[in-house]
Amino acid sequence: MTDQPRDIRTADHWLDEHGDALFSYAVRRLHRRDAAEDLVQDTLLAALQSARRIDDDRAIRGWLMGILKHKLIDHFRRESVRRSDSLSDVSVEPFNADGYWNRPPTDWFDDPSRRAQASELSRQTRDCQSRLPPTLQAAYVLRDIDQEDVDSVCHQLSISANHLAVRLYRARLLLRECIESYLKASRP
């Protein structure tokens, strides 16, 4: 081994062994490679600075993933202060003042050629998800992508169950509107 300090060797080892898994997790939730890379870096730095030391190789990935999740939530919090390019600024309110649809939902796959585009839905869902307002995105990622239970999401985001339900409702409706706009625009 070289004469590098132990912590740097440890970080190199973690990066080689777990870097791809951490990065893949972060990219899937952020859909931005640069931001995901930053989160992996922050995770390794936080792990090195942690007073807790884990020597069991099998437990290390779970521990690093736990740190990464905290970093992801911090990221959404920071972005909620900074960002202004999210869907909430571009989408139309789906309901009028009386609570009825402004534009009734269309059938996404109303003819055979549309069905072929069902595969597009996954890609479009990811794209629209990355444009959700960060506070909604955090709730959506933890609940609908990670499929964590409601209590756990509330605990991680420090919000009530009712507050979470409101965020999820808004996130899901915004996603639906975003996907519908895309499908409408791509209609021949």
Partner 1 sequence: MSLFSNLIGRLHGRCDHAMNLASRQLDGPLPLVSRARVWFHLATCRACAQATRQLRLVRQHAADTEPAGDRLDESAKARIRSKIRQNENPD
Residues making contact with partner 1 (CB under 8 A): 5, 7-8, 11-12, 15-16, 19-20, 23-24, 27-28, 33, 36-37, 40-41, 44-45, 48, 94-95, 98-101, 104-108, 121-122, 125-126, 129, 140, 143-145, 147, 150, 164-165, 168-169, 172-173, 175-176, 179-180
Closer residue to partner 1 (CB): 89 or 127: 127
Q: How far is CA 60 from CA 11, 30, 68, 128, 156, in A?
A: 12, 23, 12, 33, 21
Closer residue to partner 1 (CB): 23 or 76: 23
Closer residue to partner 1 (CB): 86 or 175: 175
What is the radius of gyration, based on Cα positions, of the chain? 20
Q: Provide the minimum distance between the beta carbon of 1 and partner 1 in the complex, in angstroms, as a whole number.
A: 16
What tokens appear for 146 in the block? Answer: 């990670």
Q: Provide the minimum distance between the beta carbon of 156 and partner 1 in the complex, in angstroms, as a whole number.
A: 15
Query: Which residues contact residue 127 at a Cβ distance below 8 angstroms, ignoring those fewer than 6 apart?
Result: 31, 182
What tokens appear for 56 in the block? Answer: 């069991």
What tokens appear for 31 in the block? Answer: 């859909």
- Amino acid at residue number 129: Q
Closer residue to partner 1 (CB): 81 or 122: 122
What angle, rounded to 10 degrees, do the helices at 150-157 and 57-82 form? 60
Closer residue to partner 1 (CB): 84 or 104: 104
Q: Provide the minimum distance between the beta carbon of 94 and partner 1 in the complex, in angstroms, as a whole number.
A: 8
Give the position of tokens 């690093």.
64
Q: Provide the minimum distance between the beta carbon of 56 and partner 1 in the complex, in angstroms, as a whole number.
A: 22
